[in-house]
Structures are given as structure tokens and as C-alpha cells.
Amino acid sequence: MKITSLLIIGTFLTAVPVTAQNTQRQAPAGFDVANAGIPHGKIDSIQYPSKTVGVSRKALIYMPPGFKKGTKYPVLYLLHGIGGDEKEWYKNGTPQIILDNLYAQGKLTPMIVVLPNGRAMKDDRATGNIMAKDKVEAFANFEKDLLNDLIPYVEKKLPVKKNRENRAIAGLSMGGGQTLNFGLGNIDRFAWIGGFSSAPNTREPQKLLPDPSKAKDLKLLWISCGDADGLMPFSKRTHDYLAQNKIPHIFYIEPGGHDFKVWKNDLYIFSQLIFKPVDKSTFSDFTVLGLPAESNIRNAQYPQIMPNGKAIFRVKAPEAQKVQIDLGKKYDLTKDSDGIWKTTTDSLSEGFHYYSMVIDNVPVADPSSKSFYGMGRYASGIEVPFAGDGYYAIKDVPHGDLRIQNMFSKVTNSWRRVFIYTPPGYDKNTNESYPVLYILHGGGEDESGWAMQGKTNLIMDNLIAEGKAKPMIVVMPDANIGPAGFGSFGDRNLQLFDKEMKESVIPFAETNFRVKKDAANRALAGLSMGGIYTLHTGVQNYNLFSSLGVFSSGWILPSLQETADREYRFMTDNKSQINSSIKNFWISMGGKEDIAYKNGQVMMKKLDELGIKYTYSEYPGGHTWPVWRNNLYNFAQLLFR
């Protein structure tokens, strides 16, 4: 069909090359207000023959200021939502005004923008029941119409560049889902992809990108959503998949819901990035907001985690004089006129971090965060996701149970709480008995540590589902016994815990759960303080356990030198029995930054001198729960084989 006449206003503007790091992160006031004193582009209409639908279909086009037929331009295909048509962006999003203003500031590469009707059916108006099956299916059918009819027509009738590097696609809501579906499904056709508040029509990530490596050929993959948008999960699941597969992309979270205030801001920023060099190393720094941390209480929006690992904190304390966040490093918060204190941290390392909110020099728990027993008290915790955290994610696999029971201790003459993980099928497979791992927390923590901070149940569920670990019961007792502080590592406490294990914990497990009762099906492990208890109880009772796991531990020197010497003498006298009985003596550290690293190295050197067999593993991260989760993940795979 013939293109209607064009009235081009203004002169051609040359865009200044701008890379991603020079682009504003949010549109300024007035970005969408018409300015009479600048050159303007032109919105017009076209009709193109659609073999896919069997009729001529309409689309709008935007020509940049100074458009010249003799110049070839890149093309952006801009898609609407489920309740709109080819005029929705024009009426509600005013792309012509937004882009005109950007051209006047020299911030855009001159481009043609095509605004099609994404409902590929003969009656493509947004009337009647827009959720009717045939109308929804028409949005999927638009892929054929776009690729086989519209793009060929545009490239035949308009002065456009015809290679993928000069072809972009973006859209809002339903059009955002189309953008990701069509763009990622046809990476050979599009180099620039922008999904704005993508709707439920977005395919699952594994179907979007069965081979994630192909997305590395994209110039820009942009995914954005308002922080108050109920459709955020669809954008987040795509982002998570891309992050896990290390695919460069921008995950842009902005203030707002599911509306044109958000989408106009998206267009403002996305349009500045396309058809010019972009620095992919800046992508993770691009967003203005993050996602609520997994460790927040229900419906709490802060703290938020940004894609680059930085955390945003907010707290309302209008009467406070000073507020800080203590994450090991202290961050000062600044107060606004509403009495809300705010700060953004440096990038945090992966996984779990204890923290405190310090208000006028008093450390307190953040009311927006779940609390965890650690550091000898209840403290807030924040969970920082990372690309390799899938092994402790909740997945669609059979799940075991996390149980809490009270155990009467003959050693302390008191009731003590125990956490127990039972594997999937435990209550159904009543004729089956299971091996058991006893696992101990560190100093300043309690029996809830491995269950809550350690995510033991999720790690075990996933390992068992993948066939990487045998189904087992995991018993998590309270290792706090005797004097607290550094005294808890001394001889008296070691002996008390040894007695507690043999007279209370093991009998409790073997009486109340279907566990196998021989050494071949019994393992002991612990972190830090629990690692010292494991060293003593596990080695002294080598006939009770077939595997020992010592995480971030070792005899504390010089305070435990006499204790260590006695332990080494015992090992010398019983070397052959220890080596033959303990199938897996597994020692791990969190790298040189682990506070137990030097003690561990001294201990392993001594074990080498004594001829005690062990295996050493190292996972960087220091003396922290991310390290110990990884330790459990690897140690559990060795057990009961």
C-alpha cells in the first residue's frame, strides 16, 4: 500500500554517540511535554498486505526530525498492550514528543519507529472481550505477521537498514511479552530487545532461550518493570534465568505500577541505548531500584537487592538523630523531610548476611526483616542472590519435612530443642530406615542455624531429587553446652558435648525416627565451634561415625594448644583404626579470609605429619553461611555411598 504524504518539520539533527553509562537512569521532569521551539518528527500511517491474516493491516510510523529519503535508518518496532492497538502508544505514550525532545538534546541515533497492531486477526480492533481466546491467540499469531509481512514491507517501502544490527523490538505489557517471545525466538532478526512490564504471555525462560548462549549475540537485552507492578514475577523469572546463565542484560526496576508513567520512562531510556555502542559491563548498575530481599517479612519493600548486589535500606524514624546499618561495615543513613532514613550499600557478597540497624547508637533488629539467632542474639538477616544459588532454591521437586521436637537431655537435665529434616517419602515409606547426618551450628548460634540460615531442607531436597545424595535424615541439635564464650571450646565443654551426643542426641534420634543404627550409616559434621566438637567427638568415637565434616574450623591456637596436643596423641595411638573407620574425613575452609583458615592449615599440616587421611576443600567467602551452605551441598554428596 502507498505511504501517505509526510510533512517533515525541522532540520536533520545529528545524534551524539552516547554509551550506556552516559544515559540518565530516570526521565527528568518535562521529558514528555511538547516543546514548540524544537524540530519535530512526524507520525503517519501505513497499510501493508498481510498474507498471515489475509487482509491489509494498519500501522503507525514515526519519522525522525530531518528525515531524508536518501538516508537509511535503523528501525524500532514498538508494540502495545492487550487493550490497545496501533494507536495506543501514540495516544497514551506520546513517543513523538519523548523522541522529539531527545533528538533536540542530541541523545538519540536517528531511527524510524513502527507502531503496529499486535493483534493479528481480521477484526483487530480492541473491542468486545479483549481476553477472548481468539484475540489472545492473535497476539501470538502476530509473530508470523511481523516477520513475514510487516518487516518485509517496511524494508521495501521505507529507507531503512535491513540487517539485524539495525532492527530493534520493544513493547509494553502484552507487547512486552511479545517482544521477549519474538525477539529471543529470532535473535537472527533482532539485535536490540526491550520488554517493558512483560505480561503472562511471556514464555517460560527455558522455552524463551533453550540455548542461553545465543543471547550473547544481542547488542542489548532490556527487561523492566515497576516495583509496584503485580506482573513483576514474569520479569524477575526471566532475569533470574539470564543471570544464572551469565547473559548480559539490563534488569531495570523503577518506581510505579502497570501504567504509562512507567512505560514512557522505559521508552525514554531504552531509546537512548539502541543503535549505538553500549558498555555491557555497566548493565548491572543501571537500575534505580532493587527487589525486596527474600529475607524480608511479608509485604516489606525494603531492604531491596539490586542486580549488582548493592542493598537499599529504608526505615522511618522521624525522632532519631542518627541511623546506621551495621553489616560488618557501618553505613550512615540520611533522613528526608518525611522522617525516612535511606542508604545504599556497596555490593554485598553472595548469600546470607547478619546485620543490625543502629538507631542513636543502639543496635536493634530491622522491623522489615526476618530475625535469625546469630552473634549470640536475634539479629536481622539479608539474603543476596547470585548466579549459583540454585542448589538451595525452592524447586518443583519432592520436599521433605523440617520438624522441631523437644529432647530431654540427661547431661544437662533439661529439655533441649532439636531440628530434624526427614527426606521426601519418609511418612509413606514406613518400612524404610534411613542413614543419619548429625550437623552442628557455630558459636553464637543455636539449633535453628542449619535449618534457617543454612537452608538444609532445600539443599537436601534438591540433592535427593537430582540423585546426587542418598535420602537421609539430618539431625540439628543445640550444640551450646557448658560455659559460653571462648570457654565453650575447652576440654570441659568438649567432654560434655561428647557425652550429650552419645547419651541423649543419638538415642533420641534412634528412638523417635527410623534411622539405621550402625556407624556406616551415621555421619557427624559442624561449622566453626561445631567443627571443633566434630573433631573431638568424631575422632574420639571413630567407631560411631563413617564420615566427619569439619567446616571452617581447627584447634584455636594458642588457647587450645594443650587440647590439640592431647587430640594428636590420641590420633597417633589410633591412626590405623581412624583411617580405616572414617571413610570421609572432609575438611573445608572459606579461603584465606576465613578467620579459621590459619588454624585449619596448622591442623592439616599436623594431620599430614601423623598420617591421618583427609580430604580438603576450599570455597571462597570467609567465615559465613554462603560457605557453609556450599560445604553441606558438597559433603552430603559423599555420604553413605
Rounded Cα–Cα distance for residues 52 and 44 (Å):
23
E strand spans, 163-270? 167-172, 192-196, 220-226, 250-254
* Amino acid in the structure at residue 130: I
**DSSP string across 51-113:** TTTTEEEEEEEEEPTT--TTS-B-EEEEE--TT--TTHIIIII-HHHHHHHHHHTT-S---EE
Residue 287's CB is within 10 A of a number of other CB atoms, namely 21
How is the beta sheet containing 192-196 ordered, strand by strand? 42-50, 55-63, 112-116, 75-79, 167-172, 192-196, 220-226, 250-254
Contact 440, 449 (CB under 8 A): no
pLDDT at 2 over 90: no
Residue 245, C-alpha cell as written in the block: 546463565
Contact 78, 192 (CB under 8 A): no
Contact 517, 510 (CB under 8 A): yes
Contact 549, 524 (CB under 8 A): yes
CATH number of 291-384: 2.60.40.10
Rounded Cα–Cα distance for residues 389 and 382 (Å):
14
Q: pLDDT per residue over 75-122, tens digit each?
A: 999 999 999 999 999 999 999 999 999 999 999 999 999 999 999 999
167-172 vs 75-79, strand pairing mode: parallel
If you compute the radius of gyration of the chain from its CA atoms, what whole number of angstroms results? 31
Best CA proximity match to 494, nearest among 413, 583, 564, 591:
564
pLDDT at 491: 84
Rounded Cα–Cα distance for residues 196 and 187 (Å):
18
Residue 193's CB is within 10 A of a number of other CB atoms, namely 26
pLDDT at 16 over 60: no
Contact 534, 628 (CB under 8 A): no
> Which secondary structure element, helix H or strand E, spans residue 403, and what is its range?
strand 401-409
- Give CATH superfamily name and number for 44-285: Alpha/Beta hydrolase fold, catalytic domain (3.40.50.1820)
Best CA proximity match to 471, nearest among 508, 504, 429:
429
pLDDT at 387: 77
Rounded Cα–Cα distance for residues 105 and 92 (Å):
23
Rounded Cα–Cα distance for residues 218 and 249 (Å):
9
pLDDT at 374 over 60: yes
- 125 three-state secondary structure: coil
pLDDT at 410 over 80: yes
pLDDT at 482 over 80: no
Locate the domains of the chain by residue range. Answer: 44-285, 291-384, 401-637
DSSP class of 520: G
Class for the domain spanning 401-637:
alpha beta
How is the beta sheet containing 584-589 ordered, strand by strand? 401-409, 414-422, 473-476, 436-440, 522-527, 547-551, 584-589, 615-618
- Band of pLDDT at residue 13, cut at 50, 70 and 90: very low
- Band of pLDDT at residue 489, cut at 50, 70 and 90: low
pLDDT at 467: 98
- 44-285 and 291-384: same fold? no
- Band of pLDDT at residue 388, cut at 50, 70 and 90: confident
pLDDT at 23 over 80: no
pLDDT at 10 over 70: no
* Amino acid in the structure at residue 27: A
- Using CB atoms within 10 Å of the CB of residue 37, give its burial: 0 to 12 exposed, 13 to 18 middle, 19+ buried: exposed
Rounded Cα–Cα distance for residues 636 and 435 (Å):
11
- 547 three-state secondary structure: strand
Torsion of CA 609, 612, 613, 618, to 10 degrees: -70
- Band of pLDDT at residue 488, cut at 50, 70 and 90: low
Q: pLDDT per residue over 222-251, tens digit each?
A: 999 999 999 999 999 999 999 989 999 999
